[in-house]
Structures are given as C-alpha cells and as structure tokens.
Amino acid sequence: MTNSRGAARAHPDYDLVVSGDRVLVDGAFRSACIGVRDGLVETIAEPGVEITGAEQRTLAADEVLIPGIVDTHVHVNEPGRTEWEGFATATAAAAAGGVTTILDMPLNSIPATVDRAALALKRGSAHGECFIDVGFWAGAVPSNLGNLRSLHDFGTFGFKCFLLDSGVAEFPPLLGDQVNSAMAEIAEFDGLLIVHAEDAGTIAGFEAGHGPHYADFLRGRPPVTEDIAIEQVIGAARRTGCRVHIVHLSSAVSVPALAAARAEGLPISVETCPHYLAITAEDVPDGQTQYKCCPPVREAANQDLLWQALADGVIDIVVSDHSPSIPAMKLFESGDFFSAWGGISSLQVSFPVVWTEASRRGFDLEQVVAWMATRTAELMGVDGKGRIAVGSDADLVVFAPEETFLVDPGSLRHRHPVTPYAGRTLKGAVRSTYLRGGLVEDTPRGRLIERG
C-alpha cells in the first residue's frame, strides 16, 4: 500500500489532507486534495495545488474517497434491551462498514422513544458510547397523538409508526383513523412520518402457521399485505398533505401506485434494504431464521423490479434496517420462521452488500453512494452529511471497490455474530473511516445530532 501519513511541516495548512485520483465530488470521481480543518471540509483543491496537513494521506491506486454512509434505519435497542444491541457495538460495526451517521429507531429500546423523558434517557445512554454520529427518530403511537410537536421540537428527525403489531408490546400500532390523525397533526409543523406499511387485517386473514419452511412463511405475508397498507398511506397523504416515507419496501407490486402518487405531487418517499436487493426467497434455506424479516424477502422476479424502481427513482434510498436480537430469539434449534424474531443484522456489511449486487447489475459506485449517503442525508434532513463538499462534515471513507472479502461472523462488531451474509464473498473493502476528519479507531468520539 502506498498510503502515507505524517506531519508535513511545522505550520501545516490543514488538520488533515487526503489526496487521490478518485475522489467523489458533486457526484463524480476526479483528482482532488481535500483539506480539513476543525472537522469540516474547508477546501477541495485541484491537482497540482500544494496544500499541507498535520496528517496527510494519499490514496493507493486501488482506493477511492467517498463520503461516509448515512444509515437512517438502525435499531440500537439501548436502553432496556442492550443485550440485543447497544450504542457502542452498533456504532463500532457501522464505522467498520463505512457508515459515519445513523438514525436510531424508537423501538426496541425500553422505554420506547415516544415522549421527551424517554428520548432524554436514550440520549443519556448513548452519550460517550458512540464511535460515529447518532440521531434519533421518535415514535407515533396511540398514547402520544396530540403531543407530537413536543418531540419534534426536541430535535427528533421524525416519527415512526406501525400499521400492525410491531412485535414489542411497548410500541403499539396506529389503527383505523389514527394514521390519518397522526398525519394531520404532523403536517401542521411540516414534520415527517415514516411508516411500516403492512396491513394488520390482511395478515390476520391468513392462517397463522408454524415450522421451518420458508415458503410457508412467505405465503402468510404476500405482497397484498404491503400494497393495501401503502394505498392507505397514500390516501392519508392526499387528505392531509403530510410528508410521509415508506420504510423497507419489499413488494414491487406497490411501485406503480407509489410512482403515480409521486407524479400527482404527493410528498411520499421510499426506501428499500440490502436484503431485498441481494437475497431472494429462492436463496433462503429452510430453518435458517437469520434470514427472517418483516416484510419478508421475496422472489427473484420481485427483486429485479425493485432494482428497476431504484434506477427509475421511485425508490429513493437504501438503508440497512439493522434489527438484531439475542440469538436465542431466532429459534435456531427449531428453525420456526413463524415464531422467530424478525430482523436482519447487517449494519457492518450493508454498503459492500449493495455495491456487490449493484456492480453485477451494471450500476456504478457513484449511484450506490447517492442511494446510501447523499440522498439519504438530504431526504431525512441530516445536515452536513452524505457528500464531500466545502462546509460539510469531513466524514470520509477510504474504499477499495474491487477488493473482495469473505464475510466471517467472527469479524463483525455488532453484539451478536448472526447475519444471513455469513460465508458470502462481497466486493468492496472499507480501508479507513474518518469522522469529522479524525480516524475512527478505539475511542468513541461520535456526537448526538438533532434535526436541523
């Protein structure tokens, strides 16, 4: 490796200078020198312009410099269920995978983040534990409707709701007209509602089963369960004008309705996740519940249509939905897909997973970074993140896009070494991650961030 570090002279121009032939600026790779001072990108110098840094790094021939990934869908679970995942382990895993900012979901911690006291407790639990920057979603549940502005004013990025049982008793769903009420309230202060869109009544209409056969589980959560819920959300957005975001879209059947809603001018955005883009139902072995999530991973033909929706811009962003639990809750002994905890652990490898599949399908790295960093930060209001630009946070990732590696669960830094990607060969290695110009190493130095 030809990388070099070290002091340039007694009075360098910047704290850090990173230079190379492939630096991602304004959506395209070009030669550049990035000068960082006080945690911000202060200059982007053209090749041949000499600038010096107290620390200097020159990219190797196989490396590129990209902005840190912004993952706005992560379940950390601390406090209350820190044995599932905590801020220290989650953010260390994130940094190892090139992620420099996460937004934490309001469940499955105890208490759920549905009032100011719970948010203050969560921030206290995170303080001093985070290797990267962390912001917080709040929850919209029946008990706090009418009081959502208080949480909005406390710096949360928006509100998460479920339209069916969330899986934890302390985070009940919004049912019936409660969704419309929440959206009308949130629209008053131009907030954002993010929705787990599966229809409770439709799922209840399918006979509950049990057992290790993935095909049986998939039949119990067909695409129509998402499609009905998404139509409900579109209707409520039309009535209220509320900004709304569909989380973890797995059913491509809903894409035409979402495209039509966007064409109508409704303020609706959409995300999908690495597991829907890189795993198919045909890949899932019976009894291997590390693959279970809700909504479920669907068939290969559906996956192709999700990729097309990304290319067409109907799906805006890709985020991990890292949702770990203790291994016992995955019921590996019985392999029962119906009873096992539904959540996929992937935070550390999400970016390489998407890049591996995207490159196979002919997409370029610039597009993947847009889906997972630039647009994510823009869409969710994460200021100063997701791009290499003068004035932005110097969250930088040295990435080797052609290097391959085998996913070894023992090398994963999230709390429990469980992932459906174990044993997979992925393309793209994170060589170094910088947070506000400082190399992420063994000391937590992440900040707790707020909307705006």
Which pLDDT tens digit goes with each residue over 52-79? Answer: 999 999 999 999 999 999 999 999 999 9
Based on the fold, state whether residues 23 and 161 are members of the same structural domain: no
Based on the fold, state whether residues 222 and 359 are members of the same structural domain: yes
Token output for 259: 């495209």
Token output for 383: 């200021």
User: How many distinct structural domains can be found in the chain?
Assistant: 2
74: left (phi over 0), alpha (psi -120 to 50) or beta: beta
What pLDDT is recorded for position 132? 98
What pLDDT is recorded for position 274? 98
Based on the fold, state whether residues 42 and 103 are members of the same structural domain: no
- Band (pLDDT 50/70/90 cuts) for residue 207 is low
Residue written as token pair 């990729």: 307
Residue 338 inside a domain? The answer is yes
Based on the fold, state whether residues 28 and 119 are members of the same structural domain: no
Based on the fold, state whether residues 214 and 300 are members of the same structural domain: yes
DSSP single-letter state for residue 416: S
Based on the fold, state whether residues 162 and 297 are members of the same structural domain: yes
Based on the fold, state whether residues 219 and 192 are members of the same structural domain: yes
Q: In what side-by-side order are the strands of the sheet with 69-74? A: 69-74, 99-104, 133-136
- Band (pLDDT 50/70/90 cuts) for residue 8 is very low
Q: Tell me the mean pLDDT in the region 289-304.
A: 98
Based on the fold, state whether residues 89 and 129 are members of the same structural domain: yes
Say if residue 1's pLDDT is above 90: no
- Name the residue range of residue 335's domain: 68-386
Based on the fold, state whether residues 37 and 186 are members of the same structural domain: no
DSSP string of 21-76, one letter each residue? EEEEETTEEEEEEEEEETTEEEEEEPTT----EEEEEE--TT-EEEEPEEEEEE--
Residue 152 inside a domain? The answer is yes
Based on the fold, state whether residues 18 and 119 are members of the same structural domain: no
Residue 427 inside a domain? The answer is no
Residue 409 inside a domain? The answer is no
Cβ neighbors of 356 (< 8 A, separation 6 or more) are 278, 426, 427, 428
pLDDT (tens digit per residue) in 216-275: 999 999 999 999 999 999 999 999 999 999 999 999 999 999 999 999 999 999 999 999
Q: Which helix (H) or strand (E) holds 15?
A: strand 14-25
- Band (pLDDT 50/70/90 cuts) for residue 47 is confident
